[in-house]
Amino acid sequence: MKLQALNTLAALALLAASPLAAQDAPTGDAAKGEKEFNKCKACHMIEGPDGAIARGGKVGPNLYGVVGRQAGTMEGFSYSDLMVAAGEKGLMWNEGDFKTYVKDATAFLREYTGESSGRGKMTFKLNNEEAAADIWAYLASVGPATN
């Protein structure tokens, strides 16, 4: 019985240390990300069910709950055909894809979907991977508890 319990604990420890578990935890600094998010506020807001978390524009979709969300599916927002296609192909927002997306949205979406034409709506480009990781950590910190 003790051996079985030890084996179970060892298996759980290995699972917790697996790349999948590490991938789920943001690598950035949420406090820095909150400041970096000021660059995003011209187009994006973060508004949860209880109200505004970060006031901002409505040109881009609300980023509340973006962590793990299927791309192109925020209710009430009109996405580009390319973003919708990426979501239909299985794009679920994660840190790695987010960091690549913010460097060049259209290039990312074209590569992800395999489409050679079409555009994403986001024109802003963030070529600072550390800042992107920090913004992702901030978005994760203010999202629903299930993220």
Question: Could you read off the pLDDT tens digit of each residue along the chain, which spans 147 residues?
Answer: 454 544 444 444 444 443 334 347 899 999 999 999 999 999 999 999 999 899 999 999 999 999 999 999 999 999 999 999 999 999 999 999 999 999 999 999 999 999 999 999 999 999 999 999 999 999 999 999 754
- Give the model's pLDDT for residue 130: 97
The closest alpha carbon to 98, from 44, 19, 17, 31, belongs to 44
Structural domains present in the chain: 27-142 (1.10.760.10)
- Give the model's pLDDT for residue 146: 52
